[in-house]
Amino acid sequence: MAHIQYLTQIHLDFGVVSMLPQACSDAGMQRPLVITDAGVRAAGVLDQALYALRDMPHAVFDGTPSNPTEAGVRAAVQALRAAGCDGLVAVGGGSSIDLAKGVAIAATHEGALKTYATIEGGSPRITSAVLPLVAVPTTAGTGSEVARGAILIVDDGRKLGFHSWGLVPRTALLDPGLTLGLPPRLTAATGMDAIAHCMETFMAPAVNPPADGIALDGLARGWAHIERATRDGSDRDARWAMMSASMQGAMAFQKGLGCVHSLSHSLGGVDPRLHHGTLNAMFLPAVVAFNASAPSIRNEQRLQRMAHAVGIGSCDAAGTELCEALRGLNARLGLPRGLAELGVTPAIFEQVIDGAMADHCHKTNPRLATRDDYRAMLAASL
């Protein structure tokens, strides 16, 4: 059975951050807590959102870690209660938006955050009591501004997914102007996150034709513009296209993701210093090659359709050309050649595999991976 559901308001264009007060009012907020990080504040991007909110009472929490944690959620909840805030505005990348989703749960639900994690059976425990959230992304990659999920590192060290339709932001304000100052390396890494979302959700076996179409279009936009945006951060057309690709990848990944993300989530939990989008870029070639023999991939020519979207003239059944195109794109973007350049060694492989096998994305891959399969994918990505 196909389950197709799109819920939120999305505004995409230069200058839409000015709509923030109205978006807050529409969500029932009178005094929002703005959740962001120190980097967004230091870059001056936060100032644009705060200027839009100048006539609305608000408070700011800028302590979001690079990989959001349960401890960060607790600190933000304390700030929320101290300031008497009644809703949330996330201004930042996926970390700030996901932290805000954690706050939306923790401020209104009792118990440890892991109680509400998807793999703990927690999704039905997330009720409509969650705080309202408006999302203003400042990177073009995660797509969390239109997604029902959040990824958070809980107190026991696991990097877990939290999923509920109640966590979808009430409004997403996608202003490409907020990404114009994004550094090249971060532009590339977040952009590859968007491309990974489009590719992996398109490979997922669930039946959702609208999501497939959105993912393919997002892949084509992202592939065509990521190098331009990385090379020239002031390229407004490229920034607009990457913001759209990011949003489209997340609109589509309600279909499910797969081994790229089960590995990235697990490795990111083992070493929180590692950037999620960069890890996705490292794992994509190996996972595409692994998925090539899945019946749903072969029968529906999914590798060939992705190859067509990125402008490759041909693609064999093993996906060789597509894998090489991915490696070439990573190289042109200046991303690492593999995990070894990030300091990853085989010594942690078994720990990473433990997490990948338990991750919520593991079972939605078109081929169910074994421990040996994951070990081979890690080795191929090293």
* Strand 149-153 relative to strand 159-163, pairing: antiparallel
pLDDT at 317 over 90: no
What does the pLDDT look like over 251-296, one tens digit per residue?
998 889 999 999 999 999 899 899 999 999 999 999 999 999 999 9
What does the pLDDT look like over 43-62, one tens digit per residue?
999 999 999 999 999 999 99
> Which one, of 369, 163, 342, 344, lies nearest residue 260 by Cα?
369
Distance CA 35, CA 179 (A): 17
pLDDT at 88 over 80: yes
For residues 377 and 290, the answer to whether their CB atoms sit within 8 Å is yes
* Strand 9-12 relative to strand 159-163, pairing: unpaired
pTM (2 d.p.): 0.93
Confidence band of 329 (pLDDT split at 50, 70, 90): very high
Provide mean pLDDT across the span 342-368: 96
pLDDT at 128 over 80: yes
For residues 130 and 172, the answer to whether their CB atoms sit within 8 Å is no
Per-residue pLDDT, 92: 96
Q: Which helix (H) or strand (E) covers residue 74, if one does? A: helix 70-83
Lowest mean pLDDT among 190-204, 271-285, 309-323: 309-323
Per the prediction, the chain carries an average pLDDT of 95
